[in-house]
Amino acid sequence: MMRRRRKSRIYKWLLWIFGVIGAIALALALIKIDDIVMAQGIVEPGDKVYIDSPMSRVLHEVFVEPGDSTTVGQPVARLYDGDLKATATTAEQEIKREIANLEAARARLALLRENPTQEELKIAESHVEQARISLTARQQELKRAEALHQGQRIFSQEDYERAQTNYDLAAANLKVAIENLNLVRRGPLASEIQHVEATVRQSQAALDKAKHNSEAAREAFERATMRSPVNGVVVRQDLYPGMQANQGAIVMIIAGEGEGTVVDAWMPETSAWKVRPGQSVEILSNLFTDREGFLGQGEVSDVHGYAIHEGGVRTFALEVAVKQAPISLSFGSTADLRIYVGQRSILQTILGWDSAAQIKYIPPTQK
């Protein structure tokens, strides 16, 4: 009888114990808490513009320094450009020479196409008339010399021959004047016009080449001066005057205005599967001793889908857009991030259980 009573009490106590444990487990399973993934990151400008060297040259001047504001088009640095300036000047002079050559060739072509002009015809006709008058005069002199030489023997043989020579020269001059008049009336040959037209084309091609060379030289000269493409603030300078700037090397970084601030962060691969764009983030900046008192708010804007392997540890990169901060976060400073990826029960937290359902985004309770 005593044994039965003892067994009954034991059973009651066991039922009570298991009942309490079950109730506690049920309560822990029903009570949800925020599920958090921790990450670390560096504060960066949202619009980060890299000023790269456009060519391999020595950096000659830097016009700004970290912390200075810049405007669109403002010169920020300059490579050595003495030889580039001289080349551009020479190219401009070459254009002027080729323009002069082209104008001269066009003038010759226009003159040929206009021939013969009235003035040229009049001049050629007057030469013919003068040659005829001269021939008539030489002919009379020859007749007189012949008569005096053969009849009265006053003119010597030499005088007669001189008069004959003058007559022959006058006849030849008349023939030349007539041929020249015919040439003037005929105008230029087609081959002459074609030759001058070819000269015009060559001059035009030379001018086009000179302009192309000048444009390339001017572009190279202008590229030597690097300008800010945005309104912003210089956040980093990598090269200084006198240093060699290889093509593509970063000279400085400018943070563009109006694009906000982001935190470039990384998280353990064991938790990366939970993080999605749009999830809420609390930012604990290491700028402040009381990090909780200067808590910032952000949102996951991007998650990179490939792991980075460094120091034997694999991490995934993500970007967090800073939405609110008590004080502006300095670029380059570090911060810890609390990413709210959803909710899970206390029981799951204690046992370390994860499930796909818990990553559904649920906004955290505002603290």
Question: Hunting for tokens 């920020």 — which residue is that?
Answer: 76
Separation CA 142–CA 136 (nearest Å): 10
Average pLDDT, the chain: 83
Give the whole-angstrom CA distance, residue 99 versus residue 207.
6
Mean pLDDT in residue range 180-204? 83
Q: Residue 364: its pLDDT value, please? A: 43
Instruction: Mention every residue, 6+ apart, whose C-beta is less than 8 A from residue 24.
Output: none
Q: Two tokens at 319?
A: 């970007």
Confidence of residue 221 (pLDDT cuts 50, 70, 90): very high
Determine the pLDDT at residue 97: 93
**What backbone torsions phi and psi does residue 291 show, to the nearest 5 degrees?**
-65, -35
CA distance 110 to 112: 5
Asked if the model's pLDDT at residue 28 lies above 80, the reply is: no
Tokens 């043989």 appear where?
157
Task: Read off φ and ψ for residue 343, nearest 5 degrees.
Answer: -140, 150
| Angle, vertex CA 330, rays to CA 324 and CA 332, nearest 5 | 120
Q: Sign of dihedral through CA atoms 173, 176, 182, 188?
A: negative
Q: Please report which confidence band the pLDDT of residue 179 belongs to, taking 50, 70 and 90 as the band edges.
A: confident
**Distance, CA of 77 to CA of 240 (rounded, Å):** 9
Coil/strand/helix, residue 16: helix
Residue 35 confidence (pLDDT) above 90: no
* Angstrom distance (rounded) from CA 329 to CA 99: 60
What percentage of the chain carries pLDDT values higher than 90?
40
pLDDT surpassing 70 at residue 282: yes
pLDDT of residue 363: 46
Structural domains in the chain, CATH included, are 30-46+260-359 (2.40.30.170), 48-79+225-254 (2.40.50.100), 86-220 (1.10.287)
What would the DSSP string read from start to end of 98-113? HHHHHHHHHHHHHHHH
Which is nearest to 227 in space by CA: 348, 75, 354? 75
Mean pLDDT within 237-255: 93
Range of lowest pLDDT (28-37, 108-117, 263-272, 326-335): 28-37
**pLDDT over threshold 80, residue 220:** yes
At 328-338, the pLDDT tens digits run 888 888 999 99
Residue 345 — pLDDT band, cuts 50, 70, 90? low
Separation between Cα atoms, residue 69 and residue 231, nearest integer Å: 7
CA 330/CA 274 separation, integer angstroms? 29
Which residue type sits at 147?
A: A
Q: How confident is the model at residue 119 (pLDDT cuts 50, 70, 90)?
A: confident
- Whether residue 277 has a cis bond before it, omega within 30° of 0: no
Give, rounded to a whole angstrom, the gap between the first and last alpha carbons of the chain: 61
Question: Is-contact 246 305, C-beta < 8 A?
Answer: no
Indicate if the pLDDT at residue 343 is higher than 80. no
Q: What is the mean pLDDT of residues 144-166?
A: 75
**Which residue(s) pair with 33 in the sheet?**
344
Kindly tell me if the per-residue pLDDT of 96 is higher than 90: yes
197-214 pLDDT, tens digit each: 899 999 999 999 999 999
Report percent pLDDT > 70 for the chain: 83
Higher pLDDT, 136 or 271: 136
CA–CA separation, 109 and 93 (whole Å): 25
The reported pLDDT for the residue numbered 67 is 84
Q: Is residue 265 pLDDT above 90, yes or no?
A: yes
pLDDT tens, residue by residue, 299-323? 999 998 888 887 778 899 999 999 9
Residue-level pLDDT at 361? 43
User: Alpha-carbon distance 50 to 30, whole Å?
Assistant: 51
For residue 315, how many other CB atoms are within 10 A of its CB?
Answer: 19
